[in-house]
Structure 1
């Protein structure tokens, strides 16, 4: 009898996804059906709707709409062009120079905007045609763009790390932000190595070496954009303001910057606000639905049962972490990142803490793991954005994607089994 709620939850969720029900509604309906197994209809409906509402009642979540808005302002404000120009002077003369520019610019853009889809859209529309002009295959350019766009979800400020902080019961957002730097940069570095090897093998064109004057000029042009990172992260780490307050400052700063660059005007502000509101609504609905499912699973003791099952399989931390990583990789293929973090953090976090892992490290492992899922069908949102911008097909992109996937998995392996890669910076600043 105790396994019936679990079966109802899993089977109903999978069936709803299979028939094309939106993820948020699949989560909500399967949670409701699970509650109906154990309690009457009226309390079940009331409980699920109440948990959706209370799940959104968090001060930390206010940061998400602000960061979404600042990301939208950056996308429209000409920041991507300046970051690409700066990256071009740094690595344009290396093998696969344009691919390396894509990775570095995506890391900078993603870190500033905190959105993988915004980064994939901006880099794809600006760099995609240029790469084709220089003789790069369209599919290779798309593969590099898709995978590099996800690095901005690990390098702070990141909305997903804020969601993980909520799901984990209050892990420090500042510590998570600091912990994301080295894994994010490491992932980007591995992607660059693979891209350079692929480009050399295919004998793609190499750009001209930039002069010191050109590097300095593009750097000065990009400084106002890069300064946002210093203001936001520096302010959070030093303790001048919280992550939520930092997100509001980011909006104000990017708005002023957009007007200074003359890329944003009062005329296109309504469109920016509407796009931000639409994205925020989708994210918040997913969060509310996922919080209701998390509560239902807790009520039915599902996390405790899975924890006991995993710890019963082996007492070797290496084996358990490998199993969790494989499960998360599988989950990432079928589920969007936000609900996956909210649903599976309460399940796996107790397991890894019993093994002695720091919750901050596990947060980075989980996000890095699910970033790979964003690049894979059938639910890979970044994959669809990248393919859509380039006007190509998923089937054609798969081949050049595989070595880049392996680079991301190798980065995940290092982050999983070498804790100092994530914990060194937080410990340096006393977190």
Structure 2
């Protein structure tokens, strides 16, 4: 019966996905069908309902709607232009400087807003036209913006790292994950800049004008309070002043004050901003509900233990196992949204890597980076479609210029996988 349940679960899930059913519904329906194979109808439906409800009954998850709202306020609050101008004053004078500006601004905005979609939309809508005016092809600009926007999912505050902390069952704390994300996120950004530099030299893209130190200082002052949010939120969590959820609430208040101070948000706009963030939160929470029900089913059917035993018995080389897990997550990321992927595959793979001596925090960063790459690839790459849409070009035109940047991300993924200090040095330094 155990084998039949597993087959039914995965066949129904992938079958529904292939038929075009939304991910959350695919997860919920396949989970319900599998439970009904083992339990009578009424108790089975009750069990699914209970697991969906208790799955989001978590204080830590309250951080998500707050961070979503803070990101929406930042998106509307004039932060993007200030960050772009600051980034341009720092690196815009280098050969191919606007490519570095695009990357750096996307990293900063993604980190502050906690949303790759917001970063791709806000930075892409401004930078694509600016770069085209200076001779950069739109597909190149879009490809760079798409990949750079994902760095905000590694650099805290990041909603997906909070979701992983929940899925790990307490094996990895939010504070440790937040600190661990800094170096890998920065490393991805640097790798993208290196690729952009090579392409810029080859194609002889224009350099920007040199700016005076006074201009750099002026742009820094304008962006200062936006950048300060990172230190307030993450510093408060690490120092134990407040939890991730309390930090998220503070982020909302901070973003609101900043928006009013910049004159970019009015009381009249607030209902629209709150409604937009509520819609995003509803989608994310429904995904978490159904994914948590499926995660419980995995435990009920002992799937994590079966997977651990199978991999350890079949493949004796730990390096090969890590490569297989990375490859699986890369494939998963191409067709599944990040939140359900984290909730579904963490209980399956975490016991395997822990049994091989990998730290849960280290694996969390590896998993998120894998899925970040998936966000940039077809057929379901959310950021790919957002970035192409903002740049007003077809997805097919972005694919070719996207490849070298994806290659850089995969290279960093391999470094982080096999050199754990990249992810764990900072958490250990802070005693987390």
CA RMSD of aligned residues (A): 0.8
- Deviates further, 25-34 or 301-310: 301-310
2:241 aligned residue: 240
Which runs of 5 or more residues in structure 1 are unaligned? none
Q: CA deviation at 1:95?
A: 2.1
What does the per-residue CA deviation read over 1:266-308, in whole Å, with 9 as the maximum and x for residues that have no partner? 0111111010000000000000010001111111111111111
Cα distance in structure 2, aligned partners of 1:33 and 1:18? 17
What does the per-residue CA deviation read over 1:311-332, in whole Å, with 9 as the maximum and x for residues that have no partner? 1122322111001000000100
Q: Are 1:281 and 2:279 counterparts? A: no
What does the per-residue CA deviation read over 1:61-100, in whole Å, with 9 as the maximum and x for residues that have no partner? 0000000000000000000100000000111011221111
Structure-1-length-normalised TM-score: 0.99
Q: Are 1:376 and 2:412 counterparts? A: no
Q: Are 1:315 and 2:346 counterparts? A: no
1:290 aligned residue: 291
Residues 230-379 of structure 1 mapped to structure 2, 5 A cutoff: 230-379=231-380
- Deviates further, 176-185 or 206-215: 206-215
Q: CA deviation at 1:400?
A: 0.6
Cα distance in structure 2, aligned partners of 1:157 and 1:317? 31
SS at match of 1:3: helix
Q: Are 1:120 and 2:120 counterparts? A: yes
Q: CA deviation at 1:49?
A: 1.2
Q: CA deviation at 1:201?
A: 1.2
Q: CA deviation at 1:136?
A: 0.6
| Runs ≥4 residues deviating over 6 A | none
What does the per-residue CA deviation read over 1:192-250, in whole Å, with 9 as the maximum and x for residues that have no partner? 00011112211211111121111111111111000101110110001100000000000
What does the per-residue CA deviation read over 1:150-179, in whole Å, with 9 as the maximum and x for residues that have no partner? 000000000000000000011211000000
Cα distance in structure 2, aligned partners of 1:399 and 1:201? 16
Residues 53-72 of structure 1 mapped to structure 2, 5 A cutoff: 53-72=53-72
Cα distance in structure 2, aligned partners of 1:353 and 1:165? 15
Q: Are 1:15 and 2:15 counterparts? A: yes
- Deviates further, 93-102 or 267-276: 93-102
2:131 aligned residue: 131
2:29 aligned residue: 29
Q: CA deviation at 1:20?
A: 1.1
Q: CA deviation at 1:2?
A: 2.6
Q: Are 1:172 and 2:173 counterparts? A: yes
Cα distance in structure 1, aligned partners of 2:228 and 2:55? 34
2:83 aligned residue: 83
